[in-house]
A and B are shown apart, each in its own frame.
Chain A
Amino acid sequence: MLATHQLRAGYGSVAVLFDVDIAVGAGESIAIIGANGAGKSTLVRAICGLIPSMAGTIEKEGRPIQSLPPHARAEHGVAVVLEGRHLFGELSLESNLRIAETQGSKRRNARFDFSFEDVLDLFPFMRGRLGAPVGVFSGGEQQMVAIGRALLLKPDLLILDEPSTGLAPKVVREIVAVIQTLRQKGMSLLLIEQHIGVASECSDRAYVMSLGKIVKELDSTDWHDQSLLAEITQAYLG
């Protein structure tokens, strides 16, 4: 579905990512964990095109996308929920969603054909609040708007950058439930998460990042081994 080869990227002329190789298979959910400053969000920004790649390739189903602008990558089925949500705060909930719907409608024969109604079914709180500006929503609600907006782009790969950050445990459970629903539907996911428990629960395998590099790959067995996770937390996230 998505693969990076020897990807190098950063800000200005300063590289932050070095030779990053990751692969997300069709229908797979992959987590990337690492301490603050490990380069996780930089990797997300490089994959969705918000920062240019300096070297290496990013392939979506075998097609190189590293030189495309962000909107063209969205048309190739790569959607992202950025860290900190980045909603269009002045606009109503409906406008926030319709913008994505308009762009998503350009994707013909999308595997996951989320409609406006489907998103309202997934997040029932949205019904009745379509006219409200999203700036007044709670943190959890805003996160759900950001996810709903990304789904309306009809992606086959959804990237979630720190979806649980700053949310109450009850709200985190709701977000986890949505992620599990998407996994059951067979959508490919790339999950960036500080909270290792949530990450392990929501993904098949994981990469550990440190100082801009992939330092460890965890297969399905290791990734769901609680004692090993405690060690990794100590070594890389402490």
Chain B
Amino acid sequence: MTVSPDTQRARAWTWAITAAGLVVWAALPWFLSRGTIDILVFAGLYTIAGLGVSFLLGQCGIVSLAQSGFYGIGAYAAAYGTTALGLPIPVGIIAGMVVSGAIAAAVGIPVLRLSGHFLALATLALAIIAHVLFLELEWLTGGTLGIGGIPRIALFGFTFSTPFRFYYLVWPCAFALILFYTLLLNSRTGIALRAMRDAPAAAAVAGIPITSLKVRIFVLSAAVGSLAGSLFAHYVSFISVDSFAIDRAISFLLIAVLGGVRSIPGTIAGALFVTAAPNYLSRLGDIHPILFAVALIVAVIFLPGGFGGFVSSTWRRLTAGPRPSATGGP
């Protein structure tokens, strides 16, 4: 493979910025209040859940409103597994991912044959059914009372018990998933996905099993949503059905769209916006939901590709544009 100097320079800058970002990320909690770190932890949790929604929408064109259901399954699997069954924490997390994946596969095979609005409505129905079940299956979920006393995650004797500590657990998980999804996009499967997006008919006759590929990405998305839910349960140690309603599914979809569905790291920006903006806007009084809505509309109008799309188009202009000096400067 030959690599053009432009590409080489772009890569060097990408690495430099990534490294700088990691340093800032690692140092950040030392300078922030507990409340702010708590918001950042939620941003990390939502990044994980949002990644699944974003990749599914960006690469398969599937709008999923079911993510709150899988997030809930992950949370209840972690809670029930550790408190009622006394299972080790990883077993609960994995059980949640397996159950979520199995449900996604079972539902996905008939549902993913639908397209467009019907598909979105079907996933919405799935989220509503999940929410009702979380409420009704009291022996499992505790109903409206919820489940408390969920143990904290501990590794090598270190307990992730505070926002400060959990920050260093949730974000590495999010970064690992970003890396995983990036590698997936550049793998043979990812190329098949992009082919399917470019020319669906040609992809089908070129031997790509369209439906099964979509189902697999849906299953992955569900498992990732479940992982986020499990981490959430172990972080807050008390969960109730309110955390898994439809508004949560809409938040996850917003994160995907705001972050830019074609941009994997953009999901972080989407998650930061959705977790931080309501919090800061609420200081302005009762008008805050309206301001949040206005901010959303402005973001969608001016950044149709989401934050990620905006950054990558600006990035391309700077690194490969007709004026390469734009990146240098004195």
A214 within 8 A of partner (CB): no
Q: Which of B200-218 contact A (CB under 8 A)?
A: 201-211
Q: Could you list 5 examples of A-B contacts with CB < 8 Å?
A: A69-B204, A69-B211, A70-B204, A88-B202, A153-B206
Please indicate the chain A residues that have their CB under 8 angstroms from the CB of B208 in the complex. 71, 99, 103
Does A189 sit within 8 A of B, measured CB to CB? no
Residue B194 at the chain A interface, CB threshold 8 Å: yes
Give the size category of A's interface with B. 20 to 34
Chain A positions within 8 Å of B198 at CB level? 87-91
For A66-109 the 0/1 string (1 means CB < 8 A from B) is 00011111110001101001111111000110111011101000
**Given the complex, which residues of B lie within 8 Å of A87, measured CB to CB?**
198-199, 202
In contact, A89 and B206 (Cβ under 8 angstroms):
no
Asked whether B207 lies within 8 Å of A104 as measured between CB atoms, the reply is: yes
- Can you name the residue of chain A whose Cβ is closest to the Cβ of B211? A69
User: Inside 8 A of B194's CB, which chain A residues have their CB?
Assistant: 88, 90-91
Contact between B207 and A131, CB atoms less than 8 A apart: no
Interface check B33, CB cutoff 8 A:
no
Q: CA of A161 to CA of B48 in the docked complex: distance in angstroms?
A: 45
CA distance A88 to B204 in the complex (A): 12
CA distance A86 to B192 in the complex (A): 14
Cβ-based interface call for A33 (8 A): no
Q: Are B191 and A71 in contact (CB under 8 A)?
A: no
Q: How far is the CA of A90 from the CA of B203 in the complex (A)?
A: 13
Q: Which A residues form the contact surface with B (CB < 8 A)? A: 48-50, 69-75, 79-80, 82, 85-91, 95-96, 98-100, 102-104, 106, 131, 146, 149-150, 153
Let me know if B207 and A74 touch, CB within 8 A: yes
Measured CA separation A223–B68 after assembly (Å)? 64
Question: B211 — which chain A residues lie within 8 A by C-beta?
Answer: 69
Q: Give B114 Cβ to nearest chain A Cβ, in Å.
A: 15
B62 to chain A minimum Cβ distance, whole angstroms, is 18
Cβ distance A32 to chain B, nearest Cβ, rounded Å:
18
| Cα–Cα distance between A95 and B199 once the two chains are bound (Å) | 14
Indicate the member of A99, A146, A149, A153 with the most B CB atoms within 10 Å: A99
Residues of B within 8 A of A104 (CB): 207
Is A82 in contact with B207, judged by CB distance below 8 angstroms? no
**A153 engages B207 (CB within 8 Å):** yes
Determine the chain B residues whose CB is within 8 A of the CB of A48 once the complex forms.
205
B207 near A88 with CB under 8 A, answer no
Interface pair A70/B205, CB less than 8 Å apart: yes
Among B2, B192, B204, point to the contact of A50 (Cβ < 8 A): B204
Interface residues in B120-137 by Cβ distance below 8 A to A read none
